[in-house]
Amino acid sequence: MKWIAYIWIGILLALTAISVPQCLNSGGETALFNATGQQSTLDPQGPLALNQAKIFYVTLWVTLFLFVTVGGALAFAIWKFRMRKGDDPNFVPPQSHGHPLVEMGLVVGSAALLVVIAIPTFGGILLKERPPVMEGEEVLEVNVTGYQWWWGFEYPEYGFHTANELVFPAGKVVKLNLKANDVIHSFWLPKLAGKTDLMPGQENKMWIQADEPGYFWGQCAEYCGDSHAYMLFRAKALSEDEFAAWLEDQQTATVVDASIGDYTPVSTEGMDEALALTGAELFIENCARCHSVDSRVQTMGPNLAHFGSRTSIAAGWLENESENLVHWILHPDKVKPGNFMWEGFPDPNNPLGPPQMEGLMDANLTEAQAEAIAAYLYTLK
Amino acid sequence: MSTEQVTYGTWKRPLKKTGLVGFLTTVDHKKIGIAYAIGALFFLLVGGVEALIIRLQLMAPENDLISAQTYNQMFTMHGTTMVFLAVMPLSAAFFNFIMPLQVGARDVAFPRLNALGLWCFLAGGIIVNLSWFFQAAPAIGWFGYAPLTARQFDPDIGTDFWIIGLQILGIASLAGSFNFITTILNMRAPGLSMMRLPVFTWMTLVTSFLIILAFPPITIALAELMFDRHFGTHFFDVPGGGKPILWQHLFWIFGHPEVYILILPAMGIISEVLPVFSRKPLFGYPLVVFSGAVIGFLGFAVWSHHMFTTGLGIVATSAFAFLTMLISIPTGVKIFNWIGTLWGGQIRFTTPMLFALGFIWMFMLGGFTGIMHSSPPVDAQQQDSYFVIAHFHYVLIGGSIFALLCGIYYWFPKVTGKLMNDNLGKVFFYTIFIGFNLAFFPMHILGMSGMPRRTHTYKAEMGWNDANFWSTIGALILGLGIAAVVLQVIYSCFKGKPSGENPWDARTLEWETSSPPKEYNFGFTPVINARDQVWENKYGHAEKKMGKIAPGSHGIHMPDQSWWPLVVSIGLFIAGMGVIFHGQPMERLLPFLGESDISLFHMLVPGLFVTLFGIYMWALEGPGGYHLYPDPEELVGAVEPEEGSHGGH
């Protein structure tokens, strides 16, 4: 019977051996530990994430040292003092009760190791709270609002809103003011900074900085209900000139005059104009009560004024391609379960009653209609 | 052994020892301990199945085995079940069965209160899990952060099941803890000073203090949440002026000590098992005891390290970070002393010893990752990522569960009088050890590469596929191992070979009595003259050997059984269901009851009436009790009690 047990343990060990290289190279063909993956915390691209990664390595080295010394002592003790074949089973080893000097020495030693961690930790806490900005230096501020399940970004100095894609200049500190509209969310852009929570009824602050222009992935890190896993976002760090151009773009209207309800696109260049105009009508009928196409006005849903210039849809879950967009408009419930775009906004005082504002569930859009809306949205660049 | 029945109380009390009535009315700490263990192992399997469903969903990217909502229910119920219904009650099972034996007591101080604890544990566990049968399992996480738990965001009754279930489980924990504290402080055998107590009993004491200090905040938080959801208050409701952060503080000032409530009993078990199988006393006993108490104290001063990302500010963040780092010192002390215990001994690799050694390794790794996220800048990246999942499963499975399985293998002969097959146990240990590491080590990598927790799916291009796949394979192996252990326990109960009194050549007092122990635990009152009394009885000097005092002509006074603990908890169950279904149509509860709404007078008021009636009758039934006379051969070498002293209690 014993050999069955040995074979079984052998199989388990073999499985483990196979898993190790696969897990270490997870995802990236080249990178160990998936260190360059989209959300890797070990591939910092800005000073704050770099500081946090460095302190992580400090803790890693300290604990590795402990592992080698304490673990080594443990392994040695287990090996050295094991009961060997032929040992007297009634043997009574010396009944020693302890050694105060050894014990106190170990306490002092471990306290000293903690100081090694504590000092950079304190520096890291200060850095997170106090961005390295010169006095009088102009700093871009962005108001970030968490909604179930998307992100609103407001640029208060310029008076416009965008959604799910944070754009900012590279090489500069950007201050983020974090708020939540409904439940708690958490803003996590791993390559630039650790997370900070968005709390309803409270404003939190954080800052980010990207060393170089780049494209980053972020995700909500606090459980926020049904579609928490689909609450992603993207961030773009642009060079100074590109960012200035982007700012200007965002402040230009993409429709004729949203304030009087004229949602006709300003330009349909290179697009099917008739389809886009049909789409505009459908948009007014089905979408406009929640989605603003005026970047100066934020309503209950993500602002779509410059939708055509974004790289992702559905809060970072899908790439911004026409096929994905049509699917998203037709089946928001399948892309994001529990989504208000499908079921409508519930009445906060009677959440099980009829919705305050109806969703697409009752609109019965056809595929052709969804395509028209998509065509319209792509004119908003 | 002969029995003489004396009825002291006002009412006639149930006498039957066997069958259903014997089980429902029992006050015997050993039967209650076994019932706790059966319940806890059942819920361990339930929580394990939930865990495997979670892992199967995450096995591949964009998997659709279960929906997002079901997944969210799974991780909520998995966490709640494992913390409150598996690990805590399994620890309570050992407290109940072992601790009175270790202090040489006949039973716990309040036997009926002990029964109430058991029935409330079962009532709470049933309520939490009933939610599945009403298609309304909670989906709020085991931490239930406001305001996601508000009616506005969570209109169904799942959260109410969770609130009421936890509230009733709190009664169970509190009743048990008061009982254990009183027992340890007042009912120790003569000569058993505090610094001679077995470390497991010490940890029972510290854990019980943690429970009675940590449960009031969660009780208040749950009551406030219940009022928010049912009676229109605004404790956590932002538009109404409430503060969601209040919930986090109340929850974690309970939740962090709770972590130590889960691990201190485990450390106690390890501190018993290592000396036995090294054949040496525990190295640095006073320091191990003291560090356990320090962990208990500091455990109340670190709760905000769960909230580093909520914007606490520089001062609070630094203070909680440094206090958290401090707590690693007493924890490290324990590990050093365990190694010191092994040093110079003669180590026997029995199944309990393998689990104990596995515990040290795994708990050490979990402790290292804990040191990492005691640093807020590091935690900012690791918080709510899979790194944290790896960390706390290393301390909760590699720590608590390993130690509890160790305790099962170690004390099984004492509890049942039968042996578990050691070779089989070793195979299961290696299965669990390898499966566990395969399941959870890759999660460190997942966390550092940015995978957030509580997400039911992930995109294929994120590079998390392989680690998730292997983690699922590991989880399946781990699940297989745990299930095998449970099956072996059941098998050995019936088919195990007889073990005798002390099969391990163990050291503490519980091994002095028969296996399984008689109803009265010890025929004589033990007089303790050494820390490892049973070891000294065999190997020690004459002056360190144990004395025995016979019960005398009086016999041994045993507590009577009672129906009322069961009645009280049934009342609480009914009342709790009344709150859960408050405002729901009656047909939700039972299909034929019609559509009218359930008011508080339908179930809550009658339930509370039953509870109050039960308490009243409990008070009136009087102390009761009867006398037992042990066989003369059990009393060989025992001296008669002094004239006038009241022996036998």
| pLDDT tens, position by position, B284-328 | 999 999 999 999 999 999 999 999 999 999 999 999 999 999 999
* Tokens at A360, concatenated: 């697409």
Task: Specify whether the CB–CB gap between B428 and B480 falls below 8 A.
Answer: no
Q: Closest residue of B to A104, CA-based?
A: B333
pLDDT at B2: 42
In order, the DSSP letters of B14-52 are ----SHHHHHHT---HHHHHHHHHHHHHHHHHHHHHHHH
What is the value of ipTM here, to two decimals? 0.94
Candidates B531, B437, B488; CA nearest to B197 is B531
Q: Indicate the DSSP class of residue A238.
A: E
Task: Specify whether the CB–CB gap between A209 and A44 falls below 8 A.
Answer: no
Q: Classify B552 in phi/psi space as left (phi over 0), alpha (psi -120 to 50) or beta.
A: left
Question: Quick one: chain B helix, strand, coil %, rounded to 5?
Answer: 65, 5, 30
**Burial (CB count <10 Å: 0-12, 13-18, 19+), residue B62:** exposed
Rounded mean pLDDT of chain B?
93
Mean pLDDT on A187-195 = 96
The C-alpha atoms of residue B262 and residue A194 are separated, in whole angstroms, by 29
* Tokens at B290, concatenated: 């003291």
**Burial (CB count <10 Å: 0-12, 13-18, 19+), residue A101:** exposed
Q: How do residues B323-353 score in pLDDT, each as one tens digit?
A: 999 999 999 999 999 999 999 999 999 999 9
Q: Closest residue of A to B427, CA-based?
A: A5
Between B50 and A105, the higher pLDDT residue? B50
Q: Inter-chain contact A42–B68, Cβ cutoff 8 Å? A: no
**Residue numbers in A near B450 (CB within 8 A):** 37-41, 188, 190, 217, 219
User: Which of the residue ranges A58-72, A75-89, A163-177, B1-15 would you say has the lowest mean pLDDT?
Assistant: B1-15
Encoded amino acid at B406, one letter: C
Candidates B254, B208, B298, B226; CA nearest to B83 is B254
Considering CB atoms only, which of B332, B377, B426 is closest to A194?
B377
pLDDT at B1: 41
pLDDT at B649: 47
pLDDT at B647 over 50: no
Mean pLDDT on B46-57 = 97
Cα distance between the two ends of chain A: 72
Q: How do residues A91-149 score in pLDDT, each as one tens digit?
A: 889 888 878 888 888 889 889 999 999 999 999 999 999 998 888 888 999 999 999 99
pLDDT at A22: 84
The C-alpha atoms of residue A223 and residue B141 are separated, in whole angstroms, by 8
Helix (H, G, I), strand (E, B) or coil at B548: strand
The C-alpha atoms of residue B74 and residue A85 are separated, in whole angstroms, by 49
The C-alpha atoms of residue A219 and residue B192 are separated, in whole angstroms, by 57
The C-alpha atoms of residue B426 and residue B428 are separated, in whole angstroms, by 5
Helix (H, G, I), strand (E, B) or coil at A155: strand
**Residue numbers in A near B375 (CB within 8 A):** 55, 59, 117, 120-121, 124
Task: Please give the C-alpha separations between residue B386 and each of A218, B307, B325, B448, in angstroms, as whole numbers.
Answer: 15, 17, 21, 8
Considering CB atoms only, which of B245, B347, B378 is closest to A59?
B378
Helix (H, G, I), strand (E, B) or coil at B566: helix
Mean pLDDT on A271-285 = 91
**Residue numbers in A near B379 (CB within 8 A):** 194
Helix (H, G, I), strand (E, B) or coil at B308: helix
Candidates B521, B496, B525; CA nearest to B511 is B521
Rounded mean pLDDT of chain A?
91
**Residue numbers in A near B462 (CB within 8 A):** 27, 37-39
Cβ-based contacts under 8 A for chains A and B: 344
In order, the DSSP letters of B424-480 are HHHHHHHHHHHHHHHHHHHHHHHHHTTPBSS-S---GGGS-HHHHHHHHHHHHHHHH
Q: How do residues A304-350 score in pLDDT, each as one tens digit?
A: 999 999 999 999 999 999 999 999 999 999 999 888 899 888 887 78
The C-alpha atoms of residue A145 and residue A200 are separated, in whole angstroms, by 10
Q: Is the peptide bond before A149 cis (omega within 30 degrees of 0)?
A: yes
A28: pLDDT confidence band, cut at 50, 70 and 90?
low
